[in-house]
Amino acid sequence: MSIIEVNKLTKYYGKSRGIVDVSFSVDEGEIFGFIGPNGAGKSTTIRLFLSLIYPTSGEAKIFGKDCIEYGPEIRQDIGYLPSEVFYYEGMKVLDLLKYSASFYERDCTQRIHELSELMELDLKRRIDDLSYGNKKKVGIVQGLLHSPKLIVLDEPTSGLDPLMQQKFFNLIREENERGATVFFSSHILGEVQKMCNRVAIIKDGSLINIQDIKTLQKDNYKKIRVVAEGLVGKRFEIEGVSNFERENGAVSFLFKGDINAMLHIIGEKEISDVTIEEPTLEEIFMHYYE
């Protein structure tokens, strides 16, 4: 069953573009990555899910229900962690979490304490006095305290130290194992690579690719580096080569295509070294953005 179904979703802010004709779906139990640079339309998409804004055309369905028509009902089961966290001034952490919990039908008291303990969050402090990272933790706890079926993360790790990031990722994995679907928007490729099953790449408001992370990495691209004397770069410029770079006596590039043909070309000359490896998502990603 699809947890999120997006169909030709388009949003213009006046004349300026938000997203255009975006369609995809996210299955139950997936950790779905949503990746793109700033201004590509990641937050716009998420804001449409939460009906913070209304689409110009197209529709988004969550749990099979229209985001706008059934907004309050579906939000009962969504946990949202915004990229920037701001909360009511003068409130203590516990007050905010209780206020947050008061919107949900189930009792969240126990979960508040579990999560705060895990994230090392002091419940008695005033939110105004917290550091950015600690505010972020408040955001994490308020987003997860009702054990949502769908977790929507908008660049969640900024401001968290590496140790906390690790804890956070473990927490998200646990929630996922419990059955929660995760929609993970980010521009940090490493974390998406670590966490996600599938990834959608968005650029200038349009989806340019949706792929299985493993397919994206393994089946298509190889990162190749060849070291040899008197290397003629031109020889490697065949179809499927990209990100071609040359540095004293070595060439490196990404290759997508028949690996035998490539090996043949490499074998034509006496070479001193060759490495063929999986490119990081980042390298593939840059390729999409050229």
**In the complex, which residues of this chain contact other proteins (CB under 8 A)?**
13, 43-44, 47, 50-54, 71-76, 78, 80, 82, 84, 86-89, 100, 103-104, 142
Please state the closest distance from residue 288 (CB atom) to other proteins, in A: 24
Tokens of residue 250, six digits: 């070595």
> For other proteins, which is the closer residue by CB, 127 or 224?
127
Please state the closest distance from residue 43 (CB atom) to other proteins, in A: 6
Tokens of residue 38, six digits: 């700033």
> For other proteins, which is the closer residue by CB, 127 or 196?
127
> For other proteins, which is the closer residue by CB, 53 or 266?
53
Could you give the CA distance from residue 289 to residue 206 in angstroms, rounded to a whole number? 12
> For other proteins, which is the closer residue by CB, 139 or 279?
139
Please state the closest distance from residue 82 (CB atom) to other proteins, in A: 5
Among 139, 130, 160, 132, smallest CA distance to 96 is for 139
SS3 assignment, position 57: strand
Please state the closest distance from residue 151 (CB atom) to other proteins, in A: 12
Residue with tokens 């020889």: 235
Could you give the CA distance from residue 175 to residue 118 in angstroms, rounded to a whole number? 13
Q: Are strands 222-227 and 250-255 parallel, antiparallel or unpaired?
A: antiparallel
